[in-house]
Amino acid sequence: MSYIGIIITFVFINNFILTQFLGLCPFIGVSRKTDSAIGMGFAVIFVMSMASLATWAVYRLVLVPLNIEYLQTISFILIIAALVQLVEMVIIKISPPLYKALGIYLPLITTNCAVLGIALIAVRNDYNALESFVAGIAAGLGFLLAIVVMSTIRERLDREWVPKPFRGVPIAFITAGLMALAFMAFDKALLKNLLG
Amino acid sequence: MMYSDFSKGVFKENPIFIILLGLCPTLAVSTQVVNALGMGAGVIFVLLGSEIFVSLLKDFIPERIRIPSFIVIIASFVTVVDLVMQAYAPSLSRNLGVFVQLIVVNCIILGRAEAFASKRKLGESLLDALGMGVGFTLGLLLISAIREVFGSGTITLFAVGSFDGVIRIPGLSSQPARVLALAPGALLVIGFLKALFNWLEMRREAREAWAVATPPLVPVAAAAAASAAGATAAPEVGTATDAELSAGSPAPAEGGAS
């Protein structure tokens, strides 16, 4: 599949949140304010692209040659946890303002299913290094798109009257459901029309 | 070791609806009842295994590296589940796909290991794991039953002998509400279910507040309390029915809910 195809697939057609439900916890938890949603989105893009590249390397260069693919789950989750720590330390050194913006979201990302999800999906799809990296960025972009749109809707919703049992999380899920309905317009046929 | 260690996971702190953890693996596989059963079994096994191990090893794991250690324990059990499922239930394994491996990042498991098993004795942890696992399975089962019955008009179970495992519901299977079986349906169903549970909780609190405000057996006190709360005539006070509470939302009920 071409790189543009991968990008369109992971941003729109297989949007991680709205069609795969990966990364739903931070999506519901951090989407109250647009500022924090943007911060979270960029932190996720950063970690996902790094993680998909790192896990590709470990899988192809260590696990496959040694014939220990069954250690995939354990090694991937450890790589991601270590990577998040590393990213955190690097950002503190290089750019304190960026750390201020992203810092509190980084620990949350370790247990974000989306990061492990893209690593596992990239392996399942037999992507090469660059394809994995692009898929990681694209899936992160899809997360950013969904969480930013969601946060703007929720900021509006805060000022509307919502029936009491629906306030908070339930209305957030229903909003996400309606967004997912809209995203169903993006499907494989659209990809075919776009790329010929 | 107490029964409540088990039952709280099933009812009071049901992981899906009350604590709202572990949603990621829940929604994606909730298209068929059989998937919910498979995923539930996997989660129960991983929860049991990891809570037992964490509880046994809690005195040997240094405080600083406890989270990574817990993750390794959990990931090991997830790998076991994944390999066993591939070997003995290949079609289920194909259905659940990447979501079996994603049990490792299910917040319920790490959450219980950290919050419960790392502080309690083996027996308590065992019951806690069972309760949480069963509660998770029941919640997932409910969501997938709603989605499959209304979204496809079928109930898919395990195939046994000549029975192909699929129960078709007359009337629904020809014209199902397809959207419920698709991705948006999962989010809508969980949103409405959460609202329903919130509403039930509000109603229960309202009823408790009502009971406190109006001791039913002493008419004089009841009347006094009722007039103080600005409610209706005294004889009706002690016997608030469901219909009254849900339809009328009288004054004490509202006070209790807010």
B215-224, Cβ contacts within 8 angstroms, sequence gap of 24 or more: none
pLDDT for position A140? 93
pLDDT higher at B216 or B118: B118
Q: pLDDT-based confidence at B252, cuts 50/70/90? A: very low
Phi/psi at B167 (5° precision): -95, 120
- The mean pLDDT value for A20-44 works out to 82
Give the tokens for residue A35: 């500022």
Q: Are the C-beta atoms of residues B71 and B104 closer than 8 Å to each other?
A: yes
**Coil, helix or strand for B232?**
coil
Provide, as residue numbers in chain A, all residues whose Cβ is less than 8 Å from the Cβ of B192. 170, 174
CB atoms within 10 A of CB A35: 10
The rounded distance, in Å, linking the Cα atoms of B67 and B105 is: 12
- Say yes or no to pLDDT of B87 above 90: yes
- The mean pLDDT value for B242-255 works out to 41
Using a 10 angstrom Cβ sphere, with 0-12 exposed, 13-18 middle and 19 or more buried, the burial of residue A78 is: middle
**CA distances, B43 to each of A65, A113, B22, B51 (Å):** 31, 15, 10, 12
pLDDT for position A28? 80
**Coil, helix or strand for A28?**
helix
- Say yes or no to pLDDT of A146 above 50: yes
The rounded distance, in Å, linking the Cα atoms of B72 and B76 is: 6
Using a 10 angstrom Cβ sphere, with 0-12 exposed, 13-18 middle and 19 or more buried, the burial of residue A161 is: exposed
ipTM of the complex: 0.85
Strand partners, B154: B168
Interaxial angle between packed helices A72-94 and B66-88, expressed in degrees from 0 to 180 and rounded to the nearest 10: 150
Indicate the residue type of A104: I
Entry pTM: 0.79
CB–CB contact A25 B24 (8 Å): yes
- Block residue for tokens 């659209």: A190
Give the tokens for residue B21: 């953890």
Q: What is the pLDDT of residues B131-144, one digit of tens each?
A: 888 888 888 888 89
Q: pLDDT-based confidence at B2, cuts 50/70/90? A: low
CB–CB contact B68 A81 (8 Å): yes
- Block residue for tokens 């996997």: B42
- Say yes or no to pLDDT of A196 above 70: no
Strand partners, A195: none
- The mean pLDDT value for B92-115 works out to 85
Provide, as residue numbers in chain A, all residues whose Cβ is less than 8 Å from the Cβ of B151. none
Give the tokens for residue A27: 């999506």
pLDDT for position B30? 87
Domain residue spans of chain B: 2-158+165-211
- Say yes or no to pLDDT of B224 above 70: no
The closest CB to that of A177, out of B20, B184, B196, belongs to B184
Q: pLDDT-based confidence at B5, cuts 50/70/90? A: confident
pLDDT higher at B154 or A146: A146
How many angstroms away from the CA of A139 is the closest CA of chain B? Answer: 16
Phi/psi at B155 (5° precision): -130, 115
**Coil, helix or strand for B58?**
coil
Strand partners, B163: B160
CB–CB contact A173 B190 (8 Å): yes
Of B96, B111, B189, nearest in space to B149 by CA: B189
CB atoms within 10 A of CB B253: 23
Give the tokens for residue A141: 């972009």
The rounded distance, in Å, linking the Cα atoms of B63 and A70 is: 29
Q: For testing the chain B interface, which of A74, A112, A169 should be mutated: the one with the most B CBs within 10 Å?
A: A74
Which residues, at least 6 apart from B57, have a Cβ–Cβ distance to it below 8 Å? Answer: B69, B73
Give the tokens for residue A133: 């990296």
The rounded distance, in Å, linking the Cα atoms of B161 and A194 is: 47
Q: pLDDT-based confidence at B242, cuts 50/70/90? A: very low
DSSP A106-121: HHHHHT-HHHHHHHHH
- The mean pLDDT value for A100-121 works out to 77
Q: For chain A, give the mean pLDDT.
A: 86
Highest mean pLDDT among A36-40, A76-80, B76-80, B184-188: B76-80
